[in-house]
Amino acid sequence: MRDVAGLVRGGMLGGAGAVVLLWAVQVRPSARPDALFATAAHLTGLLAGYGVLVLLFLMARVPAVEHGVGADRLARWHALGGRHVLLLCFGHGLFALLGYAVHERVDLVTAVRELLAYPALAAAAAGTVLLAAVGATSARAVRRRVSHESWRGVHLFVYLAAALAFGHQLAGPDLALAAWFWALAHAVVAVLLLWYRAVVPVRQALRHALRVAEVRAEGPGVVSVVMYGEHLAELRAEPGQFLRWRFLQRRLWHTALPFSLSAPVRGNTLRITVKGLGGHTRRIRRLRPGTRVLATGPFGALTAARRTRPKVLLIAGGVGITPMRALFETLPGGPGDITLLYRAGAEEQLVLRAELEAIAAERQAGLHYLLGPSGAAYDPLAPQALAALVPDLAEHDVYLCGPPGMAEAAQAGLLRAGVPAGRIHSECFSF
């Protein structure tokens, strides 16, 4: 998996280097201020356009990339890349404006008015505004105050922004000799997006014909949804992975929700376990048997393929127990090889407890509940506490899934306890 991540990262950096080379072979050196501003505008514009393509590629849900890199890491790369793209867009606009103002000997207000008279420039400016809106909703302070559905809806403007900027990019002087290459790059990304985000989900829906079989309560605000379908082995969904589920019921059909499998695929049934944290997740409790389901995936790299050691420690927090429960049952190992630590605020918040205890008894695996409020004086995720529960902790592979704060605390404790970073495997999500 590290090889795939390295290849993807290297490919992105190599593409950026090719863009800089494309700019360098066409630049005409000049010491005039307007020429310097124009040269800087061309470089930042090319890199911004390339950056938008990278952002779209990272979210195209290409299976080899999703499985090899991990959905959470792709999301982090996407967020970091988005900030760089916005800076490049603003830099491009500023350098272009200054270059035009100096060349035409006009003030900045006049330069803005005259530049926006060109349709391609006006379209590019509109695209930049849309990207800025997307970036604003992704800021941490704003993101906490908007629903996941609103956030996803605003992010769809990225496609429109890329389309608006495309014509302006082809018209730029830097691309006069390589417009075909730029158009080809856009076409490849567009095909990947269309195929994996539209064609594949429809094809899977027709092939597997998923429907809700049962919705059952598992704890306060937590339910399991059991679904049945056809040819489910063809999904090749592994324990630890998640799918994006779209339930074709009123007020749910328009949103694809990512949930991990909480049990291995068995015959013609799938199961997810969901905690009601928002409007859509709470509505899942009211799903009716027979409701059609569209599932896309599987995604994620928190699977047995990451394992490098005979002994494995699973650490789950809250509803992060769902992928851990599936791994707890299926990871190969003898007595004492598999241990699960389950962090929760109180005993009544434990989910799937009876199943976990049955698995532990059958496999002779370790199972420990780490209960108590996160602000308590005793920290069960501190290095000493973890080492006391798992004496040979540094010899384990560790799988980790839970809320961001808990996951960060667990990772810090594991590192201080001597577990190498390369043996800590996690996928933790927050939008």
| Predicted confidence (pLDDT) per residue in 420-430, tens digit | 888 888 876 55
Per-residue pLDDT at 175 exceeds 60: no
* pLDDT at res. 21: 86
Percent of the chain with pLDDT over 70: 91
* pLDDT at res. 185: 84
**Which span out of 36-40, 163-167, 316-320, 357-361 was modeled with the highest average pLDDT?**
357-361
Do 285 and 276 contact (CB within 8 A), yes or no? yes
The per-residue b/e assignment along 331-365, b for 16 or more CB within 10 angstroms, e otherwise, is: bebeeebbbbbbbbeeeebbbbbebbeebbeebeb
Mean pLDDT score, 15-43 = 84
Per-residue pLDDT at 54 exceeds 70: yes
Mean pLDDT score, 236-259 = 84
Per-residue pLDDT at 176 exceeds 70: no
- The whole model's pTM is what? 0.75
More confident call, 113 vs 144: 113
Q: Kindly indicate the confidence band of residue 314, based on its pLDDT and cuts at 50, 70 and 90.
A: very high
* pLDDT at res. 417: 85
In terms of phi and psi (left: phi > 0; alpha: psi -120 to 50; beta: otherwise), the region of 270 is beta
Which architecture characterizes domain 304-426 according to CATH?
A: 3-Layer(aba) Sandwich (3.40)
Q: Kindly indicate the confidence band of residue 327, based on its pLDDT and cuts at 50, 70 and 90.
A: very high
Per-residue pLDDT at 145 exceeds 80: no
Per-residue pLDDT at 227 exceeds 90: yes
297/71 Cα distance (integer angstroms): 11
Mean pLDDT score, 117-145 = 78
Average pLDDT for the chain: 84
More confident call, 364 vs 300: 364
Mean pLDDT score, 163-172 = 70
Q: Which residues are CB-neighbours of 376 under 8 A, at least 6 positions away?
A: none
Q: Kindly indicate the confidence band of residue 357, based on its pLDDT and cuts at 50, 70 and 90.
A: very high
Q: Which residues are CB-neighbours of 167 under 8 A, at least 6 positions away?
A: 120, 123, 124
Q: Kindly indicate the confidence band of residue 399, based on its pLDDT and cuts at 50, 70 and 90.
A: very high
Residue corresponding to tokens 């049955």 = 358
Burial label, 323 (beta-carbon count in 10 A; 0-12, 13-18, 19+): buried
Mean pLDDT score, 39-48 = 88
Question: And the tokens for 272?
Answer: 């997810």
Do 312 and 396 contact (CB within 8 A), yes or no? yes
* pLDDT at res. 149: 66
* pLDDT at res. 431: 44
- The residues facing 338 across adjacent strands are 312
307/310 Cα distance (integer angstroms): 8
| Fold adopted by 209-299 | Elongation Factor Tu (Ef-tu); domain 3 (2.40.30)
Indicate the SS3 state at residue 123. Answer: helix
Per-residue pLDDT at 84 exceeds 70: yes
* pLDDT at res. 239: 92
* pLDDT at res. 328: 93
Mean pLDDT score, 146-171 = 73
Q: What is the pLDDT of residues 257-309, one digit of tens each?
A: 888 899 999 889 999 998 866 556 667 778 889 999 888 888 888 888 888 88
* pLDDT at res. 279: 56
Q: Kindly indicate the confidence band of residue 67, based on its pLDDT and cuts at 50, 70 and 90.
A: confident
Mean pLDDT score, 69-77 = 81
